[in-house]
Amino acid sequence: MAKFSYRARGKDGKEIKGYKDADTRYELARILKNDGLLLLSAEDIAEAGGPGGFKLNMNVDFLKKIQRVKLSDKIIFSKNLAVMIGAGLTITRALDALGRETDNKKFSDAIKDLVEQIKKGRAFSEALAEHENIFPPLYVSMVEAGEKSGKLKESLLVLSSQMQSDYDLVRKVRGAMMYPMIIVLATGLIGILMLIYVVPTLTSVFEELDVELPASTRFIITMSDLFKDYSILMLGFVGGISAGLYYAIKKTKIGKHLLDTAVIKAPLIGPMAKKFNAARTSRTLSSLISSGVSILESLEITSRVVQNHLYSDVLIEAKAEVQRGETMSKVMLMHTDIYPSLMSEMLSVGEETGESSKMLEEVAKFYEDQVSDATRDLSTIIEPVLMILIGGVVGFFAVSMITPMYSLSSAI
């Protein structure tokens, strides 16, 4: 019997760490399951080489923990697995080959664990569920539906197609936002450098001339003095404010809700965000329903896939209404400020004809094209807006620095 160090998750969602004796990792997982715990990872202390070896292994665990499995890796994995299964290979043999092929250590170890669990009699979807940091509920549910219907290959192909579409959609939006972010950051950096190196030279001139300075000039000189004399403190302050805002927006419920609402109501970004979320919702629902996942479960999973709480709330409401006998389209038609009426109408036709999945796929394609066009338009529109913004900042700086000199020349 070996002694394992393990990480597990309880029914309340909290992560637990501890030590336990068991013959194998599978036996350890069974023991913990009886205790109401889901095994996340386990390490044989003896195999790790005692305390020193265990410490080294913890470092390896840490590196694997921070290493990400890219969406592109999972797309390739799903496509190749579908092809191999279609060619007649067993699931374990196909996974063995894919585990050796990937260069990502975290992904490779996860695939090896999948093989080990399947060989011990577990279903593929059950094994995937124990790696929720890599395979989300959407992935697990579609694989489970494929296993039950005997169409695992088809489910994997639908999955890879859905992830590819999602990947392309996110990449287009990020690409459109990258240019303005770089311009704003570069402008801020140039402004700080001017406050540290340029303004002090002009300040010394004003002191020699002994001229009365306007409020805007005094403000810039004060900021310059702070950045010049307390550079580290000011940079730390700016960094602290940025980190605080990031935490408030990303890690708190109120912050997330405020950001989600602001994004939807923003003049330039709002319309594109609505199309983006409509496309993601339609694509995800279409993929799940076509794979045989129930409507209720599809709505539940999709509510966790969409990242904006406004859309998630509508999907949760739709699930409750469907349980009462209503249709999805009726609920979405009540929220045309969130989901476009076209989506509701198309979904209504699909529900009437029994082709909901097909109609949702058409809606997804339509809004994905709309997002693609919107990202191109955004790049065109945002350029003059940035020019006006930067021009305003530069103009304020120039006027603040030139006004005292102009006043002096007028007095002479």
Percent of the chain, pLDDT > 70? 90
pTM listed for this prediction: 0.65
Whether 280 shows a pLDDT value over 80: the answer reads yes
Map out the domains of the chain as residue ranges: 2-66, 71-164, 178-412
Contact predicate 167/75, CB 8 Å? yes
Predicted confidence band of residue 53 (pLDDT cuts 50, 70, 90):
very low
With a cut of 80, say whether residue 4 has pLDDT above it.
Answer: no
The strands making up 15-22's β-sheet, listed across from edge to edge, are 15-22, 2-9, 38-44
| Residue 152 vs residue 41, higher pLDDT | 152
Answer whether residue 55 shows pLDDT above 50.
no
Q: CATH fold of 178-412, please? A: Receptor-associated Protein (1.20.81)
Mean pLDDT, residues 325-332: 90
DSSP state of 67: -
| Confidence (pLDDT) at 60 | 45
Residues 6 or more apart whose Cβ sits within 8 Å of residue 396: 216
Q: At what angle do helices 295-305 and 137-149 cross, to 10 degrees?
A: 150
User: How many Å separate Cα 176 from the centre of its chain?
Assistant: 16
d(CA 342, CA 270): 17
pLDDT at 178 (0 to 100): 82
DSSP string, 96-127: HHHHHH---HHHHHHHHHHHHHHHTT--HHHH
CA 249, CA 244: separation in Å to the nearest integer?
A: 9
Q: Tell me, what's the pLDDT at 51? A: 45
What mean pLDDT comes out for the span 338-342? 89
Which pLDDT score, from 0 to 100, does residue 115 have? Answer: 92
How high is the pLDDT of residue 362? 92
Angle at 351 between CA 347 and CA 356, to 5 degrees: 65
pLDDT at 54: 44
Cα gap 199→189, rounded to integer Å = 15
Please give the pLDDT value at position 57. Answer: 46
pLDDT of residue 26: 65
Phi, psi for residue 291 in degrees, rounded to 5 = -85, -5
For 147-160, what is the mean pLDDT?
86
Residue 26 is which amino acid?
Answer: Y
Range 71-164 classified under CATH 1.20.81.30: yes
Long-range contacts of 187-192 (CB under 8 A, 24+ apart): 187/390, 187/393, 191/393, 191/397, 192/227
pLDDT surpassing 80 at residue 210? no
Q: How many CB atoms lie within 10 A of CB 14?
A: 8
Q: Please count the other Cβ atoms lying within 10 Å of the Cβ belonging to residue 77.
A: 25
Contact 72, 164 (CB under 8 A): no
Q: Distance (Å, rounded) from C-alpha 16 to C-alpha 6?
A: 8
The torsion angles phi and psi of 261, rounded to 5 degrees, stand at: -65, -40
Secondary structure of residue 41 in the 3-state scheme: strand
The answer to whether the CB of 316 falls within 8 A of the CB of 304 is: no
Q: Which of 56-65, 290-299, 364-373 has the lowest mean pLDDT?
A: 56-65
Structure tokens at 239: 């960094």
The pLDDT tens digits of the residues spanning 107-137 come to 999 999 999 999 888 899 889 988 888 888 8
